[in-house]
């Protein structure tokens, strides 16, 4: 039996970690922050499908979840002030495009507009008339 890694000795997962870029296997401990994030993303994406997902759809969901984690890590790097390099910027843009494309490939569309939702034009028109929107 392998001994459990302590939090201090556990390998750090970063935006360029091999575990994200290889894309093979599970790779994440479900108890880690990263593992919980990936599992939550996968569950939310699968819940939006209105049918039992095929093998290909499950692969796309796994890929989207890992891309989302990588984008989240780059967000943290930017927010921490570690220094966002031009390479980070290009990588971030590529990740965003890959997420958008994979979500389209999965067949997800934006949620339908709520019947009682007001557009910006409606809100401005209400404001000009002096009445409150809604």
Give the pair of three-digit tokens for residue 80: 């921490």
SS3 category, 60: helix
Higher per-residue confidence, 111 vs 77: 77
- Whether 7 maps to a domain, the answer reads no
- Whether 70 maps to a domain, the answer reads yes
- How far is Cα 72 from Cα 110, in angstroms, rounded to an integer? 21
- Whether 13 maps to a domain, the answer reads no
What pTM, to 2 d.p., does this model score? Answer: 0.63
- Whether 9 maps to a domain, the answer reads no
In this prediction, residue 130 carries a pLDDT of 74
In this prediction, residue 22 carries a pLDDT of 47
- The confidence band for 1, taking pLDDT boundaries of 50, 70 and 90, is very low
- Whether 46 maps to a domain, the answer reads yes
Split into its structural domains, the chain has a count of: 1
- Whether 6 maps to a domain, the answer reads no
pLDDT digits (tens, 9 = 90+) for 38-71: 889 999 999 988 889 999 999 999 999 999 999 9
- Whether 53 maps to a domain, the answer reads yes
Higher per-residue confidence, 73 vs 114: 73
What angle is formed at CA 21 by the lines to CA 94 and CA 40, rounded to 5 degrees? 85
Q: Can you give the chain as a three-state secondary structure string?
A: CCCCCCCCCCCCCCCCCHHHHHCCCCCCCCCCHHHHHHHHHHHHHHHHCCCCCCHHHHHHHHHHHHHHHHHHHHHHHHHHCCCCCHHHHHHHHHHHHHHHHHHHHHCCCCCCCCCCCCCHHHHHHHHHHCCCCC
pLDDT digits (tens, 9 = 90+) for 105-129: 998 776 666 667 777 888 888 888 8
- Whether 79 maps to a domain, the answer reads yes
- Among 10-14, 42-46, 75-79, 98-102, whose mean pLDDT is lowest? 10-14
Domain residues for the domain of 32 are 18-129
pLDDT digits (tens, 9 = 90+) for 15-35: 666 555 544 345 666 677 888
């Amino acid at each position: 039996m392998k001994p459990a890694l302590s939090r201090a000795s556990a390998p750090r997962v970063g935006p360029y970690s091999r575990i994200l870029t290889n894309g093979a296997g599970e790779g994440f401990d479900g108890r880690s922050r990263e593992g919980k994030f990936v599992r939550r993303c996968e569950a939310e994406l699968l819940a939006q499908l209105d049918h039992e997902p095929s093998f290909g759809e499950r692969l796309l969901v796994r890929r989207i979840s890992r891309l989302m984690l990588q984008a989240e890590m780059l967000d943290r790097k930017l927010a921490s002030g570690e220094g966002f390099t031009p390479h980070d910027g290009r990588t971030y843009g590529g990740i965003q495009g890959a997420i958008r494309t994979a979500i389209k490939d999965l067949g997800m569309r934006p949620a339908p507009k709520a019947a009682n939702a007001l557009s910006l034009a409606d809100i401005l028109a209400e404001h000009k008339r002096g009445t409150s929107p809604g």
